[in-house]
Structures are given as structure tokens and as C-alpha cells.
Structure 1
Amino acid sequence: MAKQIEGVYEAVLDCAKKEFLKKGYKDASLRTIAQEANTSTGSVYTRFGDKEGLFCAIVEPVAKGLKQMFLEIQEAFHSFDKEVQRAEMGQYTSMHQMEMLDYIYDHFDAFRLLLDCAEGTQFSRFVEELVEIEVDYTYKYMEVIGCESVKSGLVTEEFVHIVVTAYFNGMFEVVRHNMDKISAVKYVRLLNRYHMQGFSTIFNATEF
């Protein structure tokens, strides 16, 4: 087996990230990536399999990292008893949303790829997968606190899904708008207050 040249793997990843950010996954060129990395397309295929394998190498660790963090945050909250959940939900959400924001800014370019450049890859549903987790745990919370708005049919699963989707899309706007982190922290804190007020109408709704 031919010995792989040191530094080529890292150079390909760096050039691929720039190409994907510039053109998106579908229009990105492996030939251009290879040329920029001073290697051959065959070398890229050997290391990454294909274009999606290359994209995956950049974003998968980050996507998995955020999903795992999010699941651990949810599980920790739902290990609390009912009264603690009811009392701490808003503060807990705000605190850990900042933790997630820190992670996003530590891997900012990867999130730009996940949000705006992943069409045509397995990561095109990244935000939707987070939404599905949140919807599931929102229902668990409403069950714990004895929320009647769902039982009565006043609030439907479709409506909860729409609200949660808006919540995540709002948070990820800091990436899409390329905000500096100081501005993003202010934005997300305000956004969280806004959504917590909105969620309270779901949890305590009696009529519309």
C-alpha cells in the first residue's frame, strides 16, 4: 500500500471546507478541492471515499456532538421531579441554550455547512432532527406537569412542531447572519425570553 503523504488529509479538509462554503455540497468540485490541496482526485477518493464522505468528515463529528449534548441536557432535566421541572424550566433552558451556543461558535464554519450547504447529503435534515428531539421532550414535560391543552385537543402535535421549528430556526439565524458572538449571546437570550413566553401559552392554554 502506498504511503500517504503527511499533511495532505488536513489540506484536503481545509480546502473542501472552503469549496463547500462557497458553492454548497451539490456544486462543489472534488477536482477543484484536490487542485487547491496540491493532490489528486484519486488521493481524495482514497482518503474519503467520495464527495459526501469528504463532507461527512468535516461536519459529522460536530453534528453528533451537538445532538449528544442536546440529548444529555434533555435527559438531565427530565430526571428532575415534577415541581423542580415546573420551577426551573425557563432558567434551565436559558442556561443550556448558552452552552449550545458556545459549542456552535467553537465550530462555526461546520454549522454554516450544516445549515446552508448540506442539501443532497444525509445532513440536510439536521435541524429537523433537533426539532424532533425537542418535540418529544416537550410532550414528556407536558405529561409530567399534567398539561391539559394537549389532552383536550386544544394544542396539536402539528402546532407544537411548528413552534419548536421556529425556535430552532431562530437560534440558528445567528449563524446564517454571521453574527459575532457577543451579538449572538444578546440575540439568543432575548429570543429565549420571547419563546418562553410563547411556550407558556401552550402549557397553560385554556382557550384561543
Structure 2
Amino acid sequence: MPKLTKEVRDLVVAKAKLEFLENGFEHTSMRNIASDVGISVAGLYKLFTNKEALFDEVVQPAMDEFNNYYESVKRDSIKRIDEDNLEAIYDTNSIENVLNMLYADFDAFKLIIYCSTGTKYENFLDDIVVRELKDVNSFIQIAKEKKVPINTVKPEYMQILMRAYYGALFEVVRRDFTRSQAEQFLQTLIDFFEPGWREIFRV
């Protein structure tokens, strides 16, 4: 059996990604991963305490990137509201940033969104919606404090709309769109949703 070097660890992560993509988290076998790499199951568990720790290793860099991006957009949105620049919130230049993020580690996002049942990521989409609703409510409150006229939308309506928006957004991952296909689709998505957001918020 090979020594448990960094090279072996990296090979385990690479093999695990393929197994998770093919079988999903729940149906992936640690024994099969160990066999593919040429180490014992005991050796694999020396590297990763359990299957979820291995899944984390595969997807955490992409998850960190997503969280950093989300927080930067949130900070920028608050800054624009403070500057009375609500119109800029609809800036579609963020499409490029979203695509850069998704396509930097496309497989990891596919694992998070569609192959993560049984892990802490299995409600990823719903968690985004909850997070987004909280932040939108904060933006509305800030705008109202600044005497900016903005319409209040029922939370349950917003939840449905946000779920539809993010569900559509991540279809580019589920359908294995090329970068070019994704660019075209996301522009269509924005063309569809942006007038609706403007209408319901009256901004």
C-alpha cells in the first residue's frame, strides 16, 4: 500500500469527486474510492474521518467562494442604497462575476446543488432563499429609513419568487450548459425577472 502522502490525498479527492458526481453522496462507497486509489479503507479513514469530511474537502473551496461573492454583493448593495443609487442595484454586470464563480469549479457546484442529499449542503437552494429574504428585508428597511419610496412585498410572495429565480439560475449547472450557453440564458433570465422586480418594488 502506498504511503499516505499529499499526492495520495489529492488523488483521493479527485477520485471522490468523480464518485460523488456519478452516484451522489448517499450512494458513494468509501470502499470503492479506496480501491480506485489503491489504499486500504483504514488508510482512507486516516485521511478523512468520514464520507462527509471527504465531501467537504471536495466542495468547500467552491462554497467559500460563493459565500465571499454573496457577501461582497451584499456590501455593495448596502453602499449603493446609502448613496441613494437604487438604480445601480439592477446593474447586470454581475452576470460575468456569477459565471466566473460557477465555471471556476463547475463540478463542485453540481455536487453542492444536485448531489448533496445526506450532507449539510442538501438544502443549499432553500438556504440561499432564506438568506436573500433576510437581506432584502434589511435593504427595504434601510431604504425606508432614508425616505426612499419602495414597495413592501409579502414575505411568502418573495420566497416563491426568490426560489424560482435561484432555481432557474442554477439550471445552467444541472443541464451542463457551456459558458456561452449560460451567458445567453442568464441574460434571458435577467430580462425576464428584472422588470418584475422593478414593478413589485416600484423602484
TM-score by length of 1: 0.88
Q: One-letter code of the match for 2:191?
A: R
C-alpha separation in 2, matches of 1:85 and 1:131: 24
C-alpha separation in 2, matches of 1:56 and 1:6: 17
C-alpha separation in 2, matches of 1:67 and 1:5: 30
Q: One-letter code of the match for 2:11?
A: A
After TM superposition, list the pairs within 5 Å mapping 1:1-208 onto structure 2: 4-82=4-82, 84-91=84-91, 94-146=92-144, 149-150=151-152, 155-204=153-202
Q: 1:192 to 1:42 in 2, by over 3 A?
A: same
Per-residue CA shift, 1:130-151, capped at 9, x if unaligned? 222221222233234445542x
User: Cα distance, 1:177 vs. partner?
Assistant: 0.4
Q: One-letter code of the match for 1:69?
A: Y
Moved more, 124-133 or 167-176: 124-133
8 A Cα contact 1:149 1:202, kept in partner: yes
User: Cα distance, 1:83 vs. partner?
Assistant: 5.8
Structure 2 unaligned segments of length 5 or more: list them: none
Q: Percent identity?
A: 26
C-alpha separation in 1, matches of 2:160 and 2:69: 23
C-alpha separation in 2, matches of 1:100 and 1:178: 15
8 A Cα contact 2:59 2:111, kept in partner: yes
C-alpha separation in 2, matches of 1:140 and 1:193: 25
Per-residue CA shift, 1:12-62, capped at 9, x if unaligned? 111111111111000100011111111111111111110011001101121
8 A Cα contact 1:77 1:85, kept in partner: no
Q: One-letter code of the match for 1:52?
A: E
> What secondary structure sits across from 1:189 in the alignment?
helix
C-alpha separation in 1, matches of 2:119 and 2:85: 37
Moved more, 195-204 or 47-56: 195-204
Q: One-letter code of the match for 1:119?
A: T
Q: One-letter code of the match for 1:50?
A: N
User: Cα distance, 1:82 vs. partner?
Assistant: 5.0
C-alpha separation in 2, matches of 1:142 and 1:5: 52
Count of aligned positions: 198
C-alpha separation in 1, matches of 2:167 and 2:50: 30
C-alpha separation in 1, matches of 2:51 and 2:157: 37
Per-residue CA shift, 1:79-102, capped at 9, x if unaligned? 2245643221111xx222320221
C-alpha separation in 1, matches of 2:27 and 2:40: 19
C-alpha separation in 2, matches of 1:86 and 1:76: 11
Q: 1:184 to 1:198 in 2, by over 3 A?
A: same
User: Cα distance, 1:4 vs. partner?
Assistant: 2.6
Structure 1 unaligned segments of length 5 or more: list them: none
C-alpha separation in 1, matches of 2:150 and 2:78: 19
